[in-house]
Amino acid sequence: MEPLAIPGVYSWSRWQADRQLYFNSHFFVRSAGNVAVDPLPLDEADEARLRELGGVALIVLTNRDHARDAAAFKERFGSKIATSTAEATEMPFDIDVICKASDQIFDGAYVVPLEDQKTSGEFALFFPNERMILVGDAVIGSPRGSLSLLPDQKYGDVRKAALGLRRLLAFQPEILLVGDGASIFSGATKLLAELLRQEGGIDAYRINVDELTFESYRGPGDYHCLEAEVGYCIGAQKLGYCVVTLPPGAKVCPLHNHAQSEELFFVLEGRPTIRALDGTVQCRKGDFIAFPTGPSGTHQLLNESDADATVLLLGTEGPDEVCFYPDSNKVLIDPGRLILRASPALDYYDGE
């Protein structure tokens, strides 16, 4: 077992001569209890090291074919075993914890279900703090430094299996830990996009509204909506776009304007309201609304109607963005997500 270049993360592997690649397991040190993902058998030295690190409180199995040595781990360490509902019914032992979409299954790790894969309940784990994704069989790290899918016969439909991975692109990962082959520690998003284009064809650049995965976003008070990433999923680079659905009375973001990003909203359903510096306007299905950079493009999206409203949000992507929030007199500086009060203004030599 060896430590990875990620704090608190270890892996151990076994060479598979018939496949000419390594099978990998991963181990996460956590204060609430350590976690093993898709555990392979341990040799004596690896088991001793695991015990030194505090044992294994939870075993996560990403798919039914990665049961591997989970039963022995449970007996040896007193661990609980977690997997998805569909995979649980196919496991040769009892499951203690069911993983559901978006669950934080352990500290810093979120469940991402994957559609049309080799098995019906396969899922990945997303680690936002590290911009990292862990997969079981969904993607293979082979040849080393690149990505591929399992052999075609493993899937009902290879093209659909590839397109089922679009959700991973939404997270823009830098690191991809794989259960089979060599993991990717830099540039994972680019390699995933290349794989999807290779296996999915032109459909890798297309997605329908009814195929989007909506996640619940909730801020304080009335700030809440359902949001689905679109642009990243289909390979967008210089434009960012997502779709949001606002229930009655909801707001998406505070009143603000951008220094760099020009935006466009398009109303798909309902009658959302746009608030600007000089008043409000209620929109209707089919409306385009432009938001230039600077004060003239100051806006807030809200829903003052009695029915849901769904809106496409589109904007240019670029570095060094600055946003101003008139209601609270705040400035957001991105990168860094630094938020400051806009006044009082300081002299150039203040504090020098």
- Give the strands of the sheet with 224-229, arranged side by side: 215-218, 224-229, 239-246, 309-316, 263-269, 288-291
pLDDT digits (tens, 9 = 90+) for 66-110: 999 999 999 999 999 999 999 999 999 999 999 999 999 999 999
pLDDT band at 319 (very low <50, low <70, confident <90, very high): confident
pLDDT score at 113 = 97
Q: Is the pLDDT confidence value at 335 over 90?
A: no
What does the radius of gyration of the chain's CA atoms come to, in whole angstroms? 23
pLDDT score at 334 = 83
Q: Whole-angstrom Cα distance, residue 263 to residue 242?
A: 12
pLDDT score at 95 = 97
pLDDT band at 19 (very low <50, low <70, confident <90, very high): confident
Q: pTM of the full predicted structure?
A: 0.90
User: In this structure, are residues 104 and 93 in contact, taking their beta carbons and an 8 Å threshold?
Assistant: no
Q: Is the pLDDT confidence value at 336 over 80?
A: no
Q: Whole-angstrom Cα distance, residue 76 to residue 79?
A: 8
Segment (H or E) for 329: none
**Phi, psi (rounded to 5 degrees) for 79:** -80, 155
Where do we find the tokens 């998406």? 252
Q: Whole-angstrom Cα distance, residue 10 to residue 214?
A: 33
Q: Whole-angstrom Cα distance, residue 145 to residue 21?
A: 13
Mean pLDDT of the chain: 95
For range 295-299, the mean pLDDT: 97
How remote is the C-alpha of 218 from its chain's centroid? 17
Q: Whole-angstrom Cα distance, residue 180 to residue 174?
A: 18
Q: Is the pLDDT confidence value at 114 over 80?
A: yes
User: In this structure, are residues 37 and 60 in contact, taking their beta carbons and an 8 Å threshold?
Assistant: yes
Where do we find the tokens 């360490």? 77
pLDDT digits (tens, 9 = 90+) for 22-66: 999 999 999 999 999 999 999 999 999 999 999 999 999 999 999
User: What share of residues in the chain are helix, strand, coil (percent, to 5)?
Assistant: 20, 35, 45
pLDDT score at 318 = 79
For range 232-246, the mean pLDDT: 95
Q: Is the pLDDT confidence value at 337 over 90?
A: no
Q: Is the pLDDT confidence value at 331 over 90?
A: yes
